[in-house]
A and B are shown apart, each in its own frame.
Chain A
């Protein structure tokens, strides 16, 4: 999963990036409104964490422009502004969630997960594909009842493929969602992680769930 943080408070952005990276999210950070809007318009993110008071273009304006362009990316507004007017206005402009500073990191994480899950049409906290069971909150996986131990990267790959089941995910898209946008360097790393994921999920099972599609993409069948 790839997130965009638009936040002018550098220490906060860095801490969030670190914490979210450790939870298996790829994070891009924009410190100002102009850059943030540019990122949000030109790259695919699974969710955007948006501060309101930003240099150049403020958060509400970024939100308004994104929604005006038809960008559906889930947005979580993270701000020190806690007035009812601010909240209502942001929801009116199309935010999906609103969290006021100071906040608990665990809450931010839980809300982001819920946002991403919902944006893929999943309302529960788990996904079941044939005999593969993914617990989205605990980030644990079982195949035919047996626990499967995955690394953070492997889990993220699986989760993304599962949330987008039935759709061929190109290597570019997959990489973009897993790493920051300078993914080219990581191209062969992706292959290694996919190979490991396949080994752990599909080895010993007759039915292969992580399949390769012609045209260098991957797919979990619907």
Chain B
């Protein structure tokens, strides 16, 4: 029963069958009553004729003198009979169909009966069902007179019986007819519902076909929305939105891969050509040394890039699982300042740490936070000019902890500023290479800050310097 179509069809048919059954039953009931009423009306007419014959005959005249031959002929067959008798007396007159036998009446009915009473019920005659009508008639007593021992010889009870075979036949026909029509309607509507449901579900199949066409290479495919029935639109819209996000993520990863492979190809080219050119002929030790130095520098750059790439992958995938502990940003700033002194001296940059009056505690991964400070600080050193300054400070501001790295280097042009946190984005490619940057440091820094629930901002003025501010929630 996993088929929605089957379920809908069966449900509909069940409901429809119940409705048809009720209507059929009602129709049958009504028709049966109408049939019975018309039968009773016929019987009643005969009863009336007999009653009239009793009431209106002249004194001493036999009852049959009042009855026409035609009328009596109706009783020739075995379909009906009549019997007129006096209560507790002999049969006065009966149709030939009774063959002289008395149909009779139970005493119970005579007890407490009134003149003019007329009852109808089903009875049996020769083992077959009949409709039997009885009435109490008196030529002398007024209507409504109770039948008593004293007046019973002035009264006649009249019975008319009619076989119900015809009625039963008609009822049988009625049931057959109703059943036939119901079955027809049911079958037809089953077909209609099946078609309607199939048509109604066609968009679902179309969606499935369209969805099947989506592969990693074809993420630009979108499911139809406007052509779908309103009920299915949320499904396809939801799917399309998911798809758009997947496509964007996929695109970012593809771009990242392209960037990463581009960045790695360049140092590989350097190593390869340095080796190939060196090997083309016999050379002096000095020349070999130079080729090896070139190769080593390129290999180191690759190494730092591979390291950064792995780092970034790890940051993206495992950062949220890192153990969190209390970290003092102020102490971290001092530590990194001390650690990076050799790099600063090589580049002729003065790195100082502005001491904070109190400790600035955040909760996080100490190793990552150290990397954050280190990335921002080495950035300030590498992109500075000889004789430049870089200052690291950590301070508490309300519920936030601010880590600030300032330099008085050449600054970043406004058009580059929004992009500096992008992976492999380089303000000055040629310069960045000679300084050995991986192009990923700031991207990693931003990741670390975001994973710790904070944000990082940069402001810069050409010729005056750059300020990176990481804002983290205080513990």
> Is B94 part of the binding interface, using a Cβ–Cβ cutoff of 8 Å?
no
Q: Are B430 and A101 in contact (CB under 8 A)?
A: no
Instruction: Answer yes or no: B434 CB below 8 A from chain A CBs.
Output: yes
Chain A residues within 8 Å of B434, by CB: 10
Q: Are B273 and A105 in contact (CB under 8 A)?
A: yes
B277 pairs with A18, CB closer than 8 A = yes
Question: In the complex, what residues of A have CB within 8 A of residue B297's CB?
Answer: 11
Decide if A101 touches B277 in the complex (CB within 8 Å). no
Q: How far is the CB of B415 from chain A (nearest CB, A)?
A: 14
Flag if A55 contacts B429 (CB, 8 Å): yes
Q: Are B430 and A102 in contact (CB under 8 A)?
A: no
Known contacts A32-B430, A55-B430, A12 near B277 by CB under 8 Å: no
A9-B267 Cα distance, complex, nearest whole Å: 9
Taking a contact as CB atoms under 8 Å apart, the answer to whether B294 and A102 are in contact is no
B218 touches A (CB below 8 Å): no
Within residues 32 to 89 of chain A, which ones have a CB less than 8 A from any CB in chain B?
32, 53-55, 80-81, 83
Residue pair B269, A101 in contact (C-beta under 8 Å): yes
Give the docked Cα–Cα distance between A218 and B262 (Å): 46
* Contact, CB under 8 Å: A8 / B280: no
Asked if A12 and B280 make an inter-chain contact with CB atoms under 8 angstroms apart, the answer reads no
- Tell me, yes or no, whether A208 is within 8 Å of chain B by CB: no
**Which residues of the other chain, A, contact B273 by a CB distance below 8 angstroms?**
12, 15-16, 19, 103, 105
A102 near B268 with CB under 8 A, answer yes
Tell me if B190 counts as interface (CB < 8 A to partner A).
no
Residue of A nearest to B271 (CB): A102
A105→B276 contact, CB < 8 A? yes
Residue contact B277 to A9, C-beta cutoff 8 Å? no
Which one of B262, B272, B294 lies within 8 Å of A14 (CB-CB)? Answer: B294
CA distance A31 to B281 in the complex (A): 27
Chain A residues within 8 Å of B261, by CB: 80
**How many A residues face the partner with a CB closer than 8 A?**
26
* Residues on B with beta carbons closer than 8 Å to the beta carbon of A8: 429-430, 433
Asked if B265 is at the interface (CB within 8 A of a chain A CB), the reply is yes
What is the bound-complex CA distance between A31 and B274, given in angstroms? 18
Interface string of A167-183 (1 = CB under 8 A from B): 00000000000000000
Asked if A9 and B294 sit within 8 Å, CB to CB, the answer is no
Complex CA distance for A48 and B135, rounded to whole angstroms: 130
Interface string of B105-132 (1 = CB under 8 A from A): 0000000000000000000000000000
Query: Which residues in A have their C-beta under 8 angstroms from that of B294?
Result: 11, 14-15
Q: Are A12 and B270 in contact (CB under 8 A)?
A: yes
Interface size for B (C-beta < 8 A) is 25
- Cross-chain contact B277 with A19 (CB below 8 angstroms): yes
Tell me whether B430 and A15 are in contact (CB under 8 A): no
State the Cβ distance, B249 to closest chain A Cβ, in Å. 20
- Contact B272 A9, beta carbon cutoff 8 Å: no
Which A residue's beta carbon lies closest to that of B430? A8
The one of B265, B268, B277, B429 that contacts A22, using a Cβ cutoff of 8 Å: B277
Q: B344 at the A/B interface (Cβ < 8 Å)?
A: no
A8 to B272, CA, bound (A): 17
A192 in the interface (beta carbon within 8 A): no
Are the CB atoms of B433 and A10 closer together than 8 Å? yes
Interface residues in B422-443 (C-beta closer than 8 Å to A) = 428-430, 433-434
Is residue B298 contacting chain A, with contact meaning CB distance below 8 A? yes
CB proximity of B304 to chain A, nearest CB, Å: 15
| Residues of B contacting A16 in the complex (Cβ-Cβ under 8 angstroms) | 273, 277
Query: Of all chain B residues, which has the CB nearest A53?
Result: B429
> Which residues of chain A (1-27) have a CB below 8 Å from chain B?
8-12, 14-16, 18-19, 22
Q: Would A11 and B276 be within 8 Å (CB), given that A101-B265, A102-B265 are in contact?
A: no
A12 CA to B271 CA, complexed, in Å: 8
Which residues of A have CB within 8 Å of B281?
A: 22
Q: Is B206 an interface residue (CB 8 A)?
A: no
Contacts of A103 in B (CB 8 A): 269, 272-273
Residues of chain B within 8 A (CB-CB) of A105 are 272-273, 276-277, 280
What string of 1s and 0s marks CB contacts (under 8 Å) between A80-109 and chain B?
110100000000000000001111111000
Nearest chain B CB to A56 CB, angstrom units: 9
Q: B433 — which chain A residues lie within 8 A by C-beta?
A: 8-10
Q: How far is the CA of A15 from the CA of B266 in the complex (A)?
A: 13
**B residues near A102, Cβ cutoff 8 Å:** 265, 268-269, 272
Are B262 and A80 in touch, CB under 8 angstroms?
yes
A80 close to B269 (CB less than 8 A): yes
Check if B280 sits within 8 Å of A22, measured CB to CB: yes
CB neighbours of A106 from chain B (8 A): 276
Nearest CB to that of B261 among chain A residues?
Answer: A80
Task: Compute how far the CA of A106 lies from the CA of B277 in the bound complex, rounded to whole angstroms.
Answer: 9
Q: Which residues of A contact B269 (CB under 8 A)?
A: 9, 12, 80, 101-103
Complex CA distance for A83 and B259, rounded to whole angstroms: 12
| B272-292 near A? 1/0 per residue, CB < 8 Å | 111011001100000000010
Contacts of B258 in A (CB 8 A): 83
The 6 tightest CB contacts between A and B, nearest first, are: A19-B277, A80-B265, A105-B276, A101-B269, A102-B268, A8-B430
12 intermolecular pairs with C-beta atoms under 8 Å apart: A9-B266, A12-B266, A16-B277, A22-B277, A22-B280, A31-B430, A80-B265, A101-B268, A102-B268, A102-B269, A103-B273, A104-B276
Known: A8-B430, A9-B433, A53-B262; 19 extra A-B contacts, CB below 8 A, are A8-B429, A9-B270, A11-B294, A12-B266, A12-B273, A18-B277, A19-B273, A19-B277, A31-B430, A32-B430, A80-B266, A81-B262, A83-B258, A101-B266, A102-B272, A103-B272, A104-B276, A105-B277, A105-B280
